[in-house]
Structure 1
Amino acid sequence: MDFGEQRMTVTSVRPDWGSLHGDVRSYVERRLAARVVEAIPCGGGFTPGVASRLRLNDGRRLFLKGMDAEHPFASQYEDEVAVTSVLPEGVGPRVVWSADPDESGGWWWLCLEDIPGTVPVLAPGSADTDMALAAVEQAGKLLTPSPLDGAKPIADLVGRWLTGWSTLSSQTLEDLDPWAARHLEALAAIEQDWQQGAAGSTLLHWDLRPDNMLRREEGTVVIIDWSYQNQGAAWIDPAVLVPYLILDGHTAAEAEAAVAHLPQPENPQTLTAFAAGLGGYWEKSSRRPAPPGVPFLRAHQVRAAEAARTWLRHRTGWE
């Protein structure tokens, strides 16, 4: 694959290498011990930091992520530096170097191996789906117990996020999906019950979706963008992937069957509650204004909320 050919679907607006202040570029090139001769911004993901595939004058190709520490999204880059740096070989991309704001003059930086590949398509019967699920299975095994000291319980991080139905139930919404409107109070009543089965020692990605994966040319999938310092039950990451299997063409039953060999909660109602939590989060978040530099996030959340409703209708049997 030619260096200029790999381009993902654009979902965020990122700064070009050439638009960065000269002092910022000089620091990076000192750390690279080479000059950047080509930088291709990668438009995938939903944060507006630097994310570019670099070609250097010594022939190397690397991937660079970075963000000014003063930016509102900077904490995600701080977390990604911490998490990616402790991942076992084969779980995530190899770290070449990283830097915190104190040493770099105010930026978080993460320089990684450049991985030629494509975003996997998680369609029914697709080899990509099998490879992606194999990567999730391997990650769950290698990240239990968590290799990250100080990883926080998953419920502490996202418990306050997955309360969307409770928030929406206090509002008058004429455009709410009719099925969700009929069952709004019931969804609000169960959306936090997943937390009872969330404790565990597995380092979790939390944001598993196809554009946070790359299918290598040799036929394996690597999970990228490890942006959260959290741990919990091993069933959570496979469950996060279910709506994206639905978005890529699986029925809800097919999506659940695809991950059935991966860890599952002991109580099936825990999974139903988690689906409710995800759906409510996406439904509520999709109604907010787009954050600066991320104009496509809300449209993504609209689609994700629809997939979560499909999953919920399957799991609850509610008409």
Structure 2
Amino acid sequence: MAATSVRPKWASLPTDARAYVERRLGSPVTAAVDCTGGFTPGVASRLLLADGRHVFLKGMSSDHPFAPQYADEIAVTSVLPDGVGPRVLWWAMPEDSDGWWWLCLEDIPGTVPVLSPDSADTVMALAAVEQAGKLLTPSPLDSARPITELVGRWLTGWSTLAAQNPDDLDPWAAGHLSALAGIEEKWQQDAAGKTLLHWDLRPDNMLRREDGSVVIIDWSYQNQGAAWIDPAVLVPHLIMDGHSPADAEAAVSHLPQPDDPDVLTAFAAGIGGYWEKSSRRPNPPGVPFLRAHQVRAAAATRVWLRHRTGWV
């Protein structure tokens, strides 16, 4: 897949950082394939060790603004049950590793699935989402917070834009800005639940194994809530991969859904406003492609919203 982040290469890391990792691995690193996917600027490298093992290493210096997200990922990934996510080999906190967060995982050979209509990848990705929802209810993470505590504050983009009244909004969004702001928080009334949520489901947070099965990766948020939320998060990405809104909804219809369809419409408004607002911000350090992704996601979610609301 195309590069989406600017990550440091294994060979460019400080000597002390590489030495610590090799001590933990118990073997020198003889080769590294540095990954470029994702939207965080930390180390992400597939390492070949002198003893023949392969591992996948993620890491970031604790003084980077994104570092707290690595702490969250370690907390979540380390408690995932078998059948959900990659297997954790070891992790380290900055106080134990000269100022770095490290997460060492099994190396899973695979590629990013393509979630297009009639794709076998789509079927297997949805099977992975279904299994994760079942195995993560109730949440195995005691520190997981209600999703409304953090995400609820994020999904208020239309209200922010209504106050700013930008002149470059999509005409449909501009014409319904007040109505979108009026519904964007109503999904929270049906958001409570005991499921540990990924929250950031999208194709590049998945890997298609050689046998065709899909594993969900990059568990970076300590959120729990209603089981319908993760399937709903995936809908705009299905649209971006070629599904119509109706077909995208049909694809996830066997997964948990809110009892009130207006709740799903409100969630679509919330996530669409989040991307619409976020896409206008400057790029974070080391992540030059994030805003362009959010522009595409916002456009796909507008298509979904037009379908759900029927507003012309």
Q: TM-score, normalised by structure 2?
A: 0.99
1:200 pairs with 2:193: yes
**Partners of 1:74 and 1:59 in 2: CA distance:** 30
1:69 pairs with 2:65: no
**Partners of 1:42 and 1:17 in 2: CA distance:** 10
User: Which residue, 229, 240, 252 being the options, matches 1:247?
Assistant: 240
Correspondence for 1:35: 28
**Partners of 2:41 and 2:143 in 1: CA distance:** 27
**Partners of 1:74 and 1:195 in 2: CA distance:** 28
Cα displacement string for residues 70-91 of structure 1 (whole angstroms, at most 9, x for unaligned residues): 1110111001001000001111
1:106 pairs with 2:96: no
**Partners of 2:84 and 2:61 in 1: CA distance:** 27
In structure 2, give the amino acid aligned to 1:193. Answer: K
- What SS class does the counterpart of residue 163 from structure 2 fall into? coil
1:140-151 paired onto structure 2 within 5 Å: 140-151=133-144
User: Which residue, 72, 78, 87 being the options, matches 1:79?
Assistant: 72
1:184 pairs with 2:173: no
1:284 pairs with 2:277: yes
Correspondence for 1:124: 117
Cα displacement string for residues 164-213 of structure 1 (whole angstroms, at most 9, x for unaligned residues): 00000012322110000000000000000000000000000000000000
Cα displacement string for residues 55-106 of structure 1 (whole angstroms, at most 9, x for unaligned residues): 1111111100001111110111001001000001111000011111111111
Correspondence for 2:256: 263
Correspondence for 1:306: 299
**Partners of 1:81 and 1:173 in 2: CA distance:** 39
**Partners of 1:228 and 1:9 in 2: CA distance:** 24
**Partners of 1:92 and 1:170 in 2: CA distance:** 40
**Percent of matched pairs sharing the same residue:** 78
User: Which residue, 85, 91, 95 being the options, matches 1:92?
Assistant: 85
Q: Which runs of 5+ in 2 are unaligned?
A: none
User: Which residue, 220, 235, 239 being the options, matches 2:228?
Assistant: 235
In structure 1, give the amino acid aligned to 2:99. Answer: G
In structure 2, give the amino acid aligned to 1:284. Answer: K
Detail structure 1 runs of 4+ shifted over 4 Å in the superposition: none
**Partners of 1:185 and 1:37 in 2: CA distance:** 58
In structure 2, give the amino acid aligned to 1:292. Answer: P
Correspondence for 1:50: 43
In structure 1, give the amino acid aligned to 2:193. Answer: G
- What SS class does the counterpart of residue 11 from structure 1 fall into? coil
Query: In the TM superposition, what is the alpha-carbon distance from 1:122 to its structure 2 partner?
Result: 0.3
- What SS class does the counterpart of residue 158 from structure 2 fall into? helix
In structure 1, give the amino acid aligned to 2:283. Answer: A
